Amino acid sequence: MKKALKAAVFGLFLTATPWVGAASAADSAPVKIGFVTTLTTPAAVIGTDMKNGFDLALEHIGREMGGRKVDVFMEDDGFKPETGKQAADKLVTQKKVDFVTGFIWSHVLLASVKSVLDSDTFLISANAGPSQLAGKGCNKNFFSISWANDQIPMAMGEALNQESVKSVYIMAPNYASGKDMMAAVELTYKGEIKGRDMTKWGSETQLDFSAELSKAKASGAEALWAFYPGKAGGAFVSQFMQAGLADTMKLYTVYTLDGISLPKMQEAGLTAALGSRGTQNWSPDMDNAANQKFVSDFLAKHGTYPSFYAQQAYDAVMLIKSAVDAVDGDLSDKNAVRAALEKADFASTRGKFKFGNNHFPIQDFYLREVVADSEGRWTTKIVSRIFTDHQDPHAVDCKM
């Protein structure tokens, strides 16, 4: 009888031990983050800067969240919506990631978002902020660490008012973000718009703006406003200068002059960039501890100032970490993770940070000017605050 009892107890021990081991293994499994950005085509210059900000954040946190290591799965969207969707599908179905982040381009994000959200995976956009996802298309598992696309140009329209600019000619590429930008400037600007041009984008991106700049010059507008990210920005400023417009028109831009483009423009001697103004929710000279550490370490590592793409990717990591830490690494309770993301309890490079009802930030926006720093490097500095605690206009349509 005693032998039988001992055997039964021993058998129970053998069956129980693997269960304990499996639970322990699950607790120590890495947090999986999928990162989608552009790593090929000329637009890779933006994706690389975004990746550099993302990698720096992982370095700063020791690649650990909630007591668990972090595994990253990097995917290239090739600047194409269909490729971005394929990357998103792979991340949620094959890699089974806990979070998806990245995304520079609105058209790529819009093509990819359903794949991620239908899998009940959290998606944190580190740049793209199409208006569709801020309003009626908002989703409990979608968060933007950046903005709704039209907030930056809305701030620009108001900045033009505050700068007493009476007339302006506007230019932007013909895709989702470009349309949002142009509509937003027109929403807040109270002066006269002398003309509008939307140029080709995507696989046939237009880099020759001579015809449009001639029309701008002939319009008699006091200022020229433009939205041209990446390589197109350099081509635009170069041709603006070559056309002699720098002597007759004030230049205002959004998403065009930043830590990526300015070093190249300085090297090329495109002095028309100096003194030009743009709007943003962040600037390298913002005076808070998190931003000072981010900017100084980025400069030391890469030799250039970070762009807002890098800054937002950095903040995206810190947001995810704040949520994983809050639930002690247990990601099984989606409601708890979501509540922690909504709380946004992290030290943002922007200083204060909070989400609105649609999971887009409520934040300040600034007018920045292109200047040379104490070592002669071109960068931006804050001139004034345009909006305080600004919420995007689409939030009222979000029914979460």
Locate the domains of the chain by residue range.
Answer: 27-147+287-355, 151-280+365-395
| pLDDT 10s digits, 341-360 | 999 999 999 999 999 999 99
Position 26 scores a pLDDT of 46
Position 358 scores a pLDDT of 98
Per the prediction, the chain carries an average pLDDT of: 92
* Mean pLDDT for the stretch of residues 165-193: 93
Secondary structure (3-state) at 269: coil
Distance of CA 367 to CAs 23, 156, 305, 385, Å? Answer: 52, 8, 18, 6
Is the pLDDT at 169 greater than 80? The verdict is yes
pTM of structure: 0.89
Which architecture does CATH list for 27-147+287-355? 3-Layer(aba) Sandwich (3.40)
Of 15-19, 225-229, 311-315, 369-373, the poorest mean pLDDT is in 15-19
Position 6 scores a pLDDT of 47
Topology adopted by domain 151-280+365-395:
Rossmann fold (3.40.50)
Position 12 scores a pLDDT of 43
Is the pLDDT at 242 greater than 70? The verdict is yes
Position 27 scores a pLDDT of 56
Is-contact 329 31, C-beta < 8 A? Answer: yes
Helix crossing, 210-219 with 231-242: angle to 10°?
50
Position 8 scores a pLDDT of 46
Q: Which residue has the higher pLDDT, 361 or 42?
A: 361
Is-contact 354 344, C-beta < 8 A? Answer: yes
Secondary structure (3-state) at 368: strand
| pLDDT 10s digits, 190-241 | 999 999 999 998 878 899 999 999 999 999 999 999 999 878 899 999 999 9
Q: Which residue has the higher pLDDT, 25 or 68?
A: 68
Position 204 scores a pLDDT of 83
Distance of CA 221 to CAs 39, 168, 216, 241, Å? Answer: 38, 5, 7, 16
Sign, CA torsion 255/256/257/260: positive
Of 6-10, 36-40, 77-81, 293-297, the poorest mean pLDDT is in 6-10
Secondary structure (3-state) at 363: strand
| pLDDT 10s digits, 13-66 | 444 444 443 334 445 799 999 999 999 998 899 999 999 999 999 999 999 999
Position 92 scores a pLDDT of 98
Position 124 scores a pLDDT of 98
Q: Which residue has the higher pLDDT, 2 or 280?
A: 280
Position 7 scores a pLDDT of 47
Position 363 scores a pLDDT of 97
Is-contact 378 274, C-beta < 8 A? Answer: yes
* Mean pLDDT for the stretch of residues 160-188: 93
